[in-house]
Structure 1
């Protein structure tokens, strides 16, 4: 137990800051993935062939590409090769900020595909007659989607979206490969420096991840029960 307190009080091992970085990665990536995933879901059920085709190709390509490859592409492809910078070069923390934002971009691109498929499955649970009645009243496809279909679809897929969010939280560990100072990067450092306490290091990090994931799962499960569609 004393060793755990030594870890917590060691200025070289800032556990709180590392896990706060993990939380920020999850939060911003989740917002972006929800927005982009919803747009992709709309494309996949669109009556416009080009939009439907784009949505299908995008989802199939990104969903079947390893997340590590996507994150590396954002760093080596977008930043190093194409010179795309998402942070001001004049800032003293420009390198760290750029890596953080590139990681978020990669997580959004990848996670949005799973959000899309979850929402699309929810769209398929909405009775077709409701959409047809709305179209008969003169509503456009996008109005039907926004006013009639999506609100019901979201209510029916809270649980699948919770699983996507939990997976995203755990997937943030991949950001360490491009130097984002989140939990797994710190764990790698501690494994190198604390070779005599490897089990304890793994136990501490596992316990914190459980402490983050378990309440999130319980909260989303409670929300799912509150808003579920009664059929």
Structure 2
């Protein structure tokens, strides 16, 4: 395979990417992120709620910045996706989503992107889509940030594929660590299946 590397801007699902390790290990509340207002949240508590669930919106911001040169506030995007049916927020605080099909429809109608919810989306097609200039969002287990040797399931977290070569897939990970697992993090093909649910959303500029 000829190496592929798309130069895509990176966004974390938290406004301060360097604080991700502290937020994930509980030494810092997300609500105490000093840049929380950039998210578009109404207050710190709303930011706390959404920030743990914004992996898909971080991927969307990367894509929009890459192709359209805009990166709308993450919580504002999430609220639009909720209105579009891609998130379902329950009275008890549970959140269903990101639901792939309505999200793809939202990305097409709101942002003029090619967007296709694909299941199954095998690894060889991910590489092929990257080769055609498109950027797949992949459903993976968050343990992919450290290439954890064992995880309880696949899926549950969204990352953006931005490149590939014969040995590895390159991902922008919205909940990655600043020591190297945030931007263009290398995931060896042999490790990917441990985390990857085999489904995702292929995004690209029109025409497709």
Structure in which a larger fraction of residues adopt strand = 2
TM-score (norm. length: structure 1): 0.25
TM-score (norm. length: structure 2): 0.27
Structure in which a larger fraction of residues adopt helix = 1
Larger Cα-atom Rg: 1
